Amino acid sequence: MSEKTALTPATHTTPPAKFSHGVKKGNILQVAGQVGFLPAAPGQPPTPAGPTLREQTLQTFANVQAILEEGGATWDDVMMMRVYLTDTDHFAEMNEIYNQYFEEQGLKEAPAARTTVYVGLPKGLLIEIDALAVLS
């Protein structure tokens, strides 16, 4: 039986409770919900990448990617992504950002994805993304 390994890249703050930014067991890697916080700075509280959906989405993708890389995965290993928005009016813009980002990443096949509206994010945060990857 393979060990379960918690993943916290150097770019991320230590979680405030007993959970991990990502967990890898065998060839499965689960990325916990990530938001658009800038890379961690010692002694500084988490800071959003900016007030816009574009800024926060691109930083959220960077944060998910950091965990994937920490666990030895790439975007091509992602089987499922869940996107949580705080405003239904952001669906079209998020889809545009999403499509452009993954085109630039050279993604071979798109993962399954689900987008929903969720109003429970901390004030000022507009998007959260989690991902499930299977390493070959």
How high is the pLDDT of residue 44? 87
How high is the pLDDT of residue 52? 98
pTM of the model: 0.94
The angle subtended at Cα 7 by Cα 116 and Cα 36, nearest 5°, is 40
Q: Which long-range contacts (CB under 8 A, 24 or more apart) does 95-102 make?
A: 97/53, 97/54, 97/57, 97/58, 98/57, 101/57, 101/58, 101/61, 102/75
Residues 6+ apart with CB under 8 A from 56: 35, 36, 48, 49, 50, 125, 126, 127
- CB atoms under 10 Å from CB of 100, counted, come to 12
Give the DSSP letter string of 50-106.
-SSHHHHHHHHHHHHHHHHHHTT--GGGEEEEEEEES-GGGHHHHHHHHHHHHHHTT
How high is the pLDDT of residue 58? 98
User: Mean pLDDT, 10 residues at a time, over the chain (136 residues)?
Assistant: 89 86 97 95 90 98 97 97 96 96 92 91 94 95
